[in-house]
Each structure stands twice: as structure tokens, then as C-alpha cells.
Structure 1
């Protein structure tokens, strides 16, 4: 089937826990549709209106279907209201199941975020990994990167953040750093011993497409005029690839990979490294 027949869809998965339930439901649902290029955006641990507002600011940049598992009434109401204002479809995926159980059992469900998970060691490990990864997104806290399992490096819009969040849901602590022209790279990146450092790259045409989509219809304040310029994009990618090669870091081309495929390759690299080590 040609690419012109493929439907591209952004799915935003908003959860007050790790988001595993949403991920499983979405995976099962998408399996029923052919020729769909689904881009999944993961937004775990959303438990306050302030956090939700930050998430929805990002959602508005890549509009699509919003699916959620949220317990707090005020957060749910705000999500529904803001999605309606943005013209975005929104679905509370667990509500029909919970309502059916309430009718059959004759009792109300308890309002406990993430209540479907056993509070075991693995669960708490995932929660810790999610918090750690979110605190070390976009080049933050480089002095703590030695505690990471993975450090992802790549130019802007090379899927670093969604890949990091996906891996955090699997219990990995992941830091990521954007390689931005004329912005110094933290020296800590070149001194790391424990984490596996991986470079993410993407085809120039695909990167320009993604960056242009970000610019269109949005405030471009703070965005360089060369952000989506073909020559500038090619220079950025070439510079990043040279750095990856010079350092001997493994590289993954994310152009035709889903977030899940990229994450799977990263987990494979970690596994091979541990076998060798």
C-alpha cells in the first residue's frame, strides 16, 4: 500500500499513573486498523491542574485524539473543558467498564489513581524511573546523568522525549539532550561511565516536515529562522552524526521507526552491553 493511502494520527495518552493500561488498550485498538501511522504521545503521572495545563500546551501543538485514565474530578473536568475549547476529541477509556461494574456490584468505585496496579517493587521502580526521566528531560541536571541507564542525544524533534518517557514506563532512567546549534554541550556528557549513550538521527526531509508543522500556526518567538531551513537542517544532522562517530556512540535512525520500535532497539542495545560487560 502506498504512503499516500496511510492515515497519520496523533494519539495523546494522559494518565494519573504509568499509562500502561492506556498503552495496552490503544495497541489493541490500532491492531484493528490498516494503513494508520499512529504517533503516540505519553503523558503519565498527571495529577494536578497545573501539570495538565502544561501537557495540554504540548498537545495543542500536535492535535489529535486524547485518551485518558484520570481519577481526580477537577483534573478530569479541566481536561474535558480544555479539549472542547481546542476542538479535540477526548475519551475516558475506563469509564464504561467502571460504570458497568458499579451497576453489577451495587457500589461505587474507589477513586485511586493507578488502582489497577499491585504496589510491588517493580511498580515503584517504574514510578521512580518516570519521575527521574521527567526531571532530566531536555538537557536538565547534567550533573546527575551518571545515575541514568540511558542518555539520548539528538537534534531538536528527533523523538528524544517521547522515547525517553516510553522507556521510563518500562523502568529505565533516561536523560536526553538536544543538540542545538551554538548552544554548548554540557561537558558531563563526555565524562559518563555508567549510562549507555545513544545518538538519535532522522532523515533531513522528515525532520524539515516535522519542524515546519511545529512552526505553522504557532508563535515562533524564540525559534531560529534556520529551524526548518534545508541547508541548516542538513548541517545540524551532519554535525550530530560526526560527533556520534567521533565518540563511538551507537546511532539509531528514527525516520521510519515508531516510538515502540526505537525503544525496543534501545533495550536490545542495553541488553547486549550488559552481556558483554
Structure 2
């Protein structure tokens, strides 16, 4: 496997440049990137320290610094070090500015300034934490999305991902022998979504969970046939109520959440 040095330079938290790098690197299956992270680069001194790191370990530089002076310093330093300098935001900002005939701002970290959308996400995160695993049933009507599924179908992390996108997401576990409360079934506002997983895969996940919890005596929880029956019963419930179902067997949390967000948008249209 080939390896190379990858320097990620940001004038803010580094989330954007990290996400871009991650999206690109997964397409390079035969390459390993030794990542060097340079966050909050906003002064000349910080930029020079980043360049010292680049010179010590030459490689590709991905940059989301927007200040023209700092950018120029970084670009010149990379030119002297004979390494690629890629300002990853430039093509999008230039295209938008040109199309809209407006001047593009150059304020570092502007995407992280608290605004209405920021506080909406914080509110959604608090809501999802308070309504995890069937808690807070009296306020479920406030949810944008209610996720249901048997144990270990990624309900909680999916809800938290949705909350980080500003959606109030609650989850209700499907426990064998215990039905869904009538007050949940009567709700009209929230989008109801069922999560499911291949029974054998789910049984393996539960076995691992039991080992971590030092509870391997609870064999029914991870028995493949019992798990298969749980999954089938849940599927029948989802079908009976006409709720959309997402199979998370081969989906990441992000992919499952993206599918749910699309369902939510379609419902709102």
C-alpha cells in the first residue's frame, strides 16, 4: 500500500476540510494518508508553523483558509516546498460569486457563528437525548421523527445524527411481548420510521454486546431464531401501519439518516 503525507489546514475547526479529505480518500483504496492537522490557522505565525510541518513532511496540502494574506503566505510556502497546494473551497465560492454577481466574504469560521439554525440544532440534540429509548413519552408529539426498531438496530446514533441536522428525533424500542403505547400510534405530526437489520448480523452484534456487558448467560437475546422472530414481528408491525422501513444491515449511520431526511422532506412537500 502506498502512503503519503496529507496536510489539512483550516482557519476554523477543520470539519470542512476533514470531511472533504475523507470523502476523497475512501476512493483511494490502495493508498494510506498520514494526516497532519493544522486547525485555527489565522495568523502569520500559525501559518509559518504549519509550513514548517509541511517542509518537514512534504506532501499534499488541502486548505480552507479564507484570509487572502494568510492564504497567499501558505501558497507561496507550498510553492517553495514544491508540494501541491489545493484551496478546496475556491471553485465553489468562485462559481457562486460569479453566478450571483456578489462578492464572496472572507471571514474565518463564519459557518460556526451561532445563529437560528445553530440554536435549532442544539434544541434538537437536547430533545433527542431526553427522548432516547422510549423516554419522555408525554412529549413525543413534538418530534419531527420517531424511529422504531428492535434492540441494536442503531436507533440512538441515528437519532443523534438527525438531531445534529436540526431534526427532533425520538426513538421507541420494540420489546418482545410489549406493544407500542396507543398514544404513540395516535400521533399524526411525527414521521414514523422503522429500522431493521439482517437477523444473523443482528445476532452477532448482540453477542458482542453481551460480551462487553459480561452477560453471556442471556442466550435468548442473541439467539438467531429468536432474533429472526423479533425482526419479522417488527416488519409486520411496520407494514400494518404503513411506516417506511430502512434496512441498516449494509448502511452506515450517515446513509440511514440521509434516507430518513429525504423521507421527511418528501413528506413536507
* TM-score, normalised with respect to structure 1: 0.61
Which residue, out of 240, 246, 252, partners 1:252? Answer: 246
Partner of 1:273: 267
Unpaired stretches in structure 1, ≥5 consecutive residues: 1-19, 37-90, 106-113
For residues 156-185 of structure 1, the C-alpha deviation after alignment (integer angstroms, 9 at most, x for no partner) is 111111111111111000000111113343
In structure 2, the residue matched to 1:97 is: 39
Secondary structure at 1:175 match in 2: strand
CA contact (8 A) 1:152 1:200 kept: yes
2:22 aligned with 1:29, yes or no?
yes
For residue 78 of structure 2, what is the aligned residue in structure 1? none
Q: In the aligned structure 2, how far is the partner of 1:116 from the partner of 1:196? A: 29
Q: State the Cα distance separating 1:230 from its structure 2 match.
A: 0.8
Task: Give the CA RMSD over aligned residues.
Answer: 3.0
Partner of 1:199: 194
* 1:128 aligned partner: 123
Find the residue that maps to 1:231 and give its secondary structure.
Answer: helix
Instruction: Report what 1:149 is aligned to.
Output: 144
List per-residue Cα deviations over 1:122-176 (Å, max 9, x = no partner).
1111111111111111111111111000000000111111111111111000000
Partner of 1:159: 154
Residue 71 of structure 1 corresponds to: none
Structure 1 position 212, deviation (Å): 1.5
Give the Cα separation in 2 of the matches to 1:201 and 1:103.
Answer: 52
Alignment of 1:35-74 (within 5 A): none
Tell me, what secondary structure is at the counterpart of 2:112?
coil
Within-5 A mapping of 1:100-111: 101=43, 103-104=45-46
Query: Which residue of structure 1 aligns with residue 206 of structure 2?
Result: 211
Q: Distance in 1 between matches of 2:110 and 2:130?
A: 24
Whole-angstrom CA distance in 1 between matches of 2:254 and 2:212 = 29
- TM-score (normalizing by structure 2): 0.63
Following the alignment from structure 2 to structure 1, what is the Cα–Cα distance between the partners of residues 20 and 183? 38
Counterparts of 1:101 and 1:116 in 2: how far apart (Å)? Answer: 19
Match of 2:223?
229
SS across alignment from 2:222: coil
Query: Of the candidates 166, 169, 176, which is equivalent to residue 164 of structure 2?
Result: 169
3-state DSSP class of the match of 1:31?
helix
Please identify the structure whose Cα radius of gyration is greater. Answer: 2
Ranges in structure 2 where 5+ consecutive residues have no aligned partner: 1-12, 30-34, 48-108
What is the alpha-carbon distance in structure 2 between the residues aligned to residue 217 and residue 270 of structure 1?
A: 35
Say which structure, 1 or 2, has more relative contact order (CA 8 Å, 6+ apart): 1
Give secondary structure in 1 for the equivalent of 2:146. strand
Paired with 2:160 and 2:43, the residues of 1 have a C-alpha distance of 32
SS of residue in 2 equivalent to 1:241: helix
Q: Write the distance in 1 (CA, Å) between the matches of 2:44 and 2:233.
A: 58
1:144 aligns to what SS in structure 2? helix
Cα distance in 1 between the residues matched to 2:249 and 2:120: 31
The number of residues matched between the two structures is 192
